[in-house]
Structures are given as structure tokens and as C-alpha cells.
Structure 1
Amino acid sequence: MPTSLLLRSYLITSILSLPRLVKFSMPLLNIIANSPSRILNPDKNPVIGLLVRKIIYEHFVAGDCEAAVKETVSQMKQVGFQGVILGYAKEFAADEGEVGNEELDVRRWKEGYEKTMDMIGPGDFMAVKLSGAGASTLSALANQQPPPPQMWTEMLSICHAAKAKNIRVWIDAEQQDLQPTIDDWTLLLMREFNRNGQAFMYNTFQAYLKSTPRNILKYLKMAQDEGWTMGIKLVRGAYIATERRELIHDTIEQTHEAYNGIVENLLKQQYPGLDEKKPYPGVALMLASHNETSIKNAYAIQKSMIEQGKRTIKLEYGQLQGMADEISCGLLQLCQRTGKEEGEKGSEMDEKLRPRAFKCLAWGSTQECLQFLLRRVKENGDAVSRTGGWVVGFRREILRRVKASLGFV
């Protein structure tokens, strides 16, 4: 990690590790993120805009235009990340439009993702939020209806364009009022695009939901019977503040157990309930987590499977830019260490053992991205509460570099 990024990460993480300061600042940032006022809107007030950009935006966000985003993406890959997951920060809110504006909503939604594709390259991911296509789409999702024809035509167009560029697509999870329909629509996309042993479309599964292990099994069975590859992005959960409580595990420990259990079963190709007489379905797993224990456990399981010559699945890791940077850099160091230990042999195992780490970025205007970041902070409250440990790690690395520069190794 470049020293400038290390110092900025240390500063921001130190702030996030202070619960009272975070609690105090959230309401203020929420006002700035959603204010239509020229005085408080950071895109209209240059003073507030400068403060927000320097303190928050530049640390967490890829940029607001193609040139800036491409530069950030390039920097991430130079540091050593396998690639990036890029999403468009602007999202649709139900009170922003009417069904009569469907054509305009869908066109703007599609244009946002066309721009996103132009900013990334082969092997990268693009994060897509289906509800962003406007009020008609939102209504169809909420009422478990088929996708609106125009929206679906454009969605297929987006997918074909992305596949032509070898850019993978993951569909973001949303609250449970919408998620069952999102699952159904994404199933249609996986059936069409995830062929020939390749996972191009990924659906998001939230481990804090009691139904998730069963839900994954349902799709694994379909993939097994129909011959397509299942793309899984596994998170702990994003909407705990708004979900019906009975749908969610009673404790965080139960969520951890569910998350880690799903990962282990997938990696060992021993998912309970699958027909063992049939070939195991193709699966690709994106471990979207800021939990160090889960990441280390997953790597250890896959490493053991590979070293024993056993079959496993494709595994990749993703963390938000500006969050869990110590964990992300730990994966990069592990990758470099593996290369040094095995690289001289030129072994195929060396390549298999290298963790594939990605950084998840958003792009958009200052206010759009501030709205996006506030949602991510709420979603990752458990990770934010653990930032004290990351601060210690950053401080240790800073001291190590200072000593090295002075000749004290």
C-alpha cells in the first residue's frame, strides 16, 4: 500500500473507530447527502463540496467522471488487486418519479451502466441495482411480477455488452419486499448467460436471513439439473434496519455460523441436500466480506482442498474501497508471499493458491456517493465496530516504515 494511502486509511479508520463521533456525525452527513438546498448540497456549495470530497469522497469513491475513475481503477490494479467491482452510486427512490416516466427512468439507468462499463476492463465486475430502473420496475419487483418489457430489453442489452467485454455482472441485494422477485429475474439471467462452465451473472445472498441456506440449495439444484453455473456473491446482510425481524437470525453469532457454514459447504462441494449421484453443479463464489475470520477460514479451506488434489470451486474476495483496507492488503501480501515461495518452481499450484482480491468502488457526484456511503456504513456496522483493530495494524505498519526509513530494520 502506498504510504499516502496508508496514512489516509489510518486517519479515516481512526475516526470510524470512535463510536460517539460516528453517531454524532451520521445525522449531519445524512442531511448533507439528501438536501436539495443550494447551501447544504455539496454539489452546489463549493465550500461544503470541498470539505466532503477531501475528508470522505476521495478516500471511499472512485471519482465523478471517466478519467478520474479510470485513474483510480488503474491505481488499484497497480497496488496488486486482481480487479475492481464498480457500481454507479445514483439510485432510484420511489418518490423521485412516476410510472409515466418509465422510458426516461430506464434510459438513464441504462446509460449509467454503459458509462460504468467504459471505465473498467476484462475480468472486472459491474454491480447492478435493478430497482434503479425506475418506478415501473420498482412496482414489478414489489408485486412479484415479470420485468417490464422495456426494462428487460435494456437489461439484456447491458448483459450482452458486458459479456462482449468480459465484464462480469453482479446483481445487488435489496430489502425482502423486493428480493424474491430479484432472485427470480436473476435466475433468468443466470440460465441464459452462465453457460459453458463460466459464471458471468452473480446473484447476492444474505447470510443473516434464516432462509438463505435453503435458498442457495434451491438454486444449486436447478443449476445441477439444468447444466448452468451458479454465481454467488455472499454477504452477511445489508438491510437489517428495515427487514422484518423474524426473517433474520436471532444473534450475530448465528449469522456468522450461517455465513461460514455456507462457505465451507460450497468450497468442499458438500452442500447438504444435493443429489450426490449427479455431477456437482458449477459454482463461482465472491466472498464479499469485511470479516477477517471468515476470509482466513475460506482461504485455509480452499488451500487445503487444492493441496490435497481435491476439487473445489472458484473463489474471489471483495471489500469496499476505504473499508477493511488492512484485510485487503493482507490478501495482497499473501498473494505476494505465495508467489515468492512457489514462483521459482513455476508450479500450477502457485497460481491456484493466490487469493483473487477485488476492491468494490462507486462512482458518481459528491452527493450521490455520500448517499451511497451512508448506506454502506449502516450495512457494515459490524465491520465499523471492529475498526479499532485495524487502527492498531495501520499504526504498526506506519511505525515499521518510519523505522525502515531511518535504518532501523
Structure 2
Amino acid sequence: MPETIQGQSDRKPSSERPISFEDTSIAFSSQSDFKLRKTYWLFALMNQGWLVNLGTFFIKIALRLHLPIKFLIKNTIFEQFCGGESIRDCETTIRHLHNVHVGTILDYSVEGEDTEKSFDETALEILRTIERASESKDIPFSVFKVTGIASTELLEAVQIGDSLNKTQKAEFDRVMQRVDMLCRRAYERNVRIFIDAEESWIQDTIDTLAYEMMDRYNHERPIVYNTYQMYRWESLSHLQRDTAEAQAKGYYLGVKLVRGAYMEKERLRAHEDEYQDPIQATKDDTDHDFNAAIDFCLEHRDIISVCLGTHNEESCQYCVQEMSRLGIAPNDPHIFFAQLLGMSDNISFNLANKGYNVAKYVPYGPIDAVMPYLFRRADENKSIAGQSSREFTLVSNELKRRKDCRSK
């Protein structure tokens, strides 16, 4: 495997086992009492599903009516889950994460734009994240969503094999040019880049683009990573198939493993259009395939570089145990863990404390433009089984621990 990759950790590996994700003293060590209390109240509110729904409704109305609520948003949910409105704004977060040995993944999270001009502007902003990543080991990956630089309708038309008209052909040519521009710049700057997964009705098009880029830029080292959503029942077999393809063509396979983020939308569309549901029958099936994918990636680490994008403690612990069993160093540069900013700090910081490679997705962008992302985070926290309760309990435990320490 290649020996030099942008963002490789130079920390000493730790042989201590096991990792405790209950250790709040490490998880929140860099948070002041004031910040921790703000986090406590935010998750206390988000723990109430009805309140999240009501708040989302009124925020959407207020923004539509241009009411002065941006200050409130910026100092609550935006502060918790976003790094700022620009790359420069994110520098404080980058330094903060660096101090606890956690990397940053700058994620330009503007959504809802759907013009050629906006696609070009988004592509240029992603180029800026690649340039910033190339300047420092603090940013081990860049990332983009293909729907940020391409029309969803066009991607779907390509996937189902529609005959494209002259205008559509020209538009898709520009999509391929944008994707290539980003991956080429990542290759030139030696920065690894994630291509995020999306809905199943456009994912095949995204996959095709991703593997074309891997065949173009991953022959020397893993640069381009595709994302596998393990809540889809065919993802494990696709991972195995894609590994064989990479071996046959002589390139490294970049893999990001996630569970998935579009389950309700996927199930509804499959039901309405009367095709086979692409989602696993049960959560246990998803968990099984996620861990099986971990096994497969570790067993094929001569060709696969993998990032576990998960908030699932069991899967993180499972990967740690398997790495130990296989004699893989915690700071092996081809194995990363990643979580979202503002969530699962007990996983991120405890893993980093033991010498594992960890990065946080740090979304940024103008407040108006990133609100769809923030609404999803709020909804995700109430819909993932116990997520808000888990975050709330951890923060509560740390506040209690600090109070007990001061009273001694």
C-alpha cells in the first residue's frame, strides 16, 4: 500500500483496550461548563419529537417571511451542528478538533439550488475545500454530493436509460467535467475525497461516475472514495463485486461505510411505484451487513481503504476489536472513523484518545442555505432509536461528574 497520504496521523498508536464510550470526561474535555449546559438544553428540547416538528414548522415560516430569527438559529442549532458560514469561519472548529486529535471534513452543505450557475459555484467551493485540506493534516478528506453539482432529474434520466436530448447531453457532459475536475484536483493535491451516497434512483449513476474516477486516479494510492449504504440489501454484494473489479483493473478501492439516510423516502417510493424495496427487512439485517462489510474491508486492506461513517457504538467497538485481533495498528492510515459535528462526541473523542484515526464532518454554508441539512439533523436525532436521549444522557452524566468533582 502507498506510504504517504495527506492527513495521515503521526501520533503513536495506543495498545490500550478496550475503549469505553461511556467516558464523558474525555468526550467533553474541551467543552466549558457554559457550552455543555447549552448542549444539554438543546438536546433536552430535541428529545421532544413534537417540539422538533413544531419548531421546524415555525422556523420554515419565519425564514419564508424574512423574520429576524437568524441570530437565534446561529446561536443554537447552527452552532451545535455547523462550523460556520464559510471555510474561514470553520478555522476555530478545525483548531478545536485538532487539539483533541480529531480531523475535520469540510462539508459545504448548501442544498436546494438547481441551476447550472449554482452547480458551477458549488464545484468551485468544493475546490476550495480541497485546497484547504492540502495545506494541513488536520483535514484528511474532502467530500461532495453529486446532486450539489448536478440535477437530480438528469441523474435519474441517465440511470433509467432515457434518451437524452441535445441540451441534456450537454448538461451531463458538464456534470462529468465537474466530477473529474474535483477528483483530479484531489489527486494533484494528494487529498482523499468522498463521493456521498444518495437515493437509490440516482445511485447507479453516481456509482458509475465514482468508479470511473477511481480507475482514473486511484492506481497509485486511494484518492476517490465511494459510499456504501448498508441499509440496502444489495450493498454487501456490490462491495464484493467492486473489489473484484478494482483488483482486475489495478486500482485501490476507497470505501466509506454508512447505514443510510433516506429510508422513509425509499420505502414510500418503492411502495408507490410497486418495485422491490431496496431497504433491508430489519435493522438487525443492516447491522449484520455493516459488520460483515467491516470484516471484508479489513481482510482486503491490501486494496481497500475504508472509513466507517457511523454513530453506532457497537460497530465502532466491533471494528476496534477486529483490528486488534488482526494486529492492525490503531493509526493505520487506511482505516478511519467519522461522525458528524455535534453528535457522538463520546465515540469520536474516545477513539481519538486511543490513537485511532477519527474525523468529524463539519458542515458549513450560509444559514438559509444549510437549513435543510439542519432540519435533517433535528429529525435524525428524534428518529434514530434513542439518539437524542443518548446524547442528552451523556451530557447530563458529564455535568453531574463535574459537579461531584467540585464538591469533593
Provide TM-score, normalisation by structure 1: 0.79
CA–CA distance in structure 2, aligned partners of residues 380 and 20 of structure 1: 13
Moved more, 244-253 or 203-212: 244-253
The equivalent of 2:231 in structure 1 is 208
Q: Which 5+ residue runs of structure 2 have no aligned equivalent?
A: 1-28, 162-168, 272-276
Change (3 A) 1:268 1:313: farther
Q: Is 1:199 matched with 2:222?
A: yes
The equivalent of 1:184 in structure 2 is 208
Q: Secondary structure at the match of 1:148?
A: helix
CA–CA distance in structure 1, aligned partners of residues 206 and 213 of structure 2: 11
The equivalent of 2:308 in structure 1 is 287
Q: Which 5+ residue runs of structure 1 have no aligned equivalent?
A: 40-46, 270-279, 336-353
One of 23, 26, 30 as aligned partner of 2:53: 23
CA–CA distance in structure 1, aligned partners of residues 348 and 69 of structure 2: 31
Aligned-partner residue type, residue 132 of structure 1: G
The equivalent of 1:315 in structure 2 is 335
Cα displacement string for residues 25-78 of structure 1 (whole angstroms, at most 9, x for unaligned residues) = 33334445xx54323xxxxxxx30011111111111011123211222121111
Answer yes or no: is the 8 Å Cα contact 1:130–1:182 preserved in 2. yes
Cα displacement string for residues 255-308 of structure 1 (whole angstroms, at most 9, x for unaligned residues) = 112212221232234xxxxxxxxxx7500111000111111111111111117x
Answer yes or no: is the 8 Å Cα contact 1:233–1:288 preserved in 2. yes
Give the Å deviation of 1:215: 1.0
The equivalent of 1:62 in structure 2 is 83
Alignment RMSD, CA only? 2.5
CA–CA distance in structure 2, aligned partners of residues 181 and 28 of structure 1: 36
Change (3 A) 1:384 1:365: farther
Q: Is 1:130 matched with 2:130?
A: no
Moved more, 13-22 or 284-293: 13-22
Provide TM-score, normalisation by structure 2: 0.80
Equivalent runs, 1:6-155 vs 2, <5 Å: 6-32=36-62, 35-39=63-67, 47-81=68-102, 83-93=103-113, 96-97=114-115, 102=116, 104-120=117-133, 121-122=136-137, 123-135=139-151, 138-144=153-159, 148-155=172-179
Q: Secondary structure at the match of 1:91?
A: coil
Change (3 A) 1:166 1:256: same
CA–CA distance in structure 2, aligned partners of residues 118 and 366 of structure 1: 23
Give the Å deviation of 1:174: 0.9
The equivalent of 1:234 in structure 2 is 257
Answer yes or no: is the 8 Å Cα contact 2:111–2:372 preserved in 1. no
Aligned-partner residue type, residue 240 of structure 2: L
Percent identity over the alignment? 24
The equivalent of 1:343 in structure 2 is none
Cα displacement string for residues 102-161 of structure 1 (whole angstroms, at most 9, x for unaligned residues) = 3x24421222212333444345211111122243x7504542278822332233222232
CA–CA distance in structure 2, aligned partners of residues 379 and 212 of structure 1: 22
Give the Å deviation of 1:242: 1.4
Change (3 A) 1:377 1:177: farther
The equivalent of 1:365 in structure 2 is 366
Ranked by relative contact order (alpha carbons within 8 Å, sequence separation 6 or more), the top structure is 2
The equivalent of 2:344 in structure 1 is 324
CA–CA distance in structure 2, aligned partners of residues 332 and 6 of structure 1: 20
Change (3 A) 1:51 1:204: same
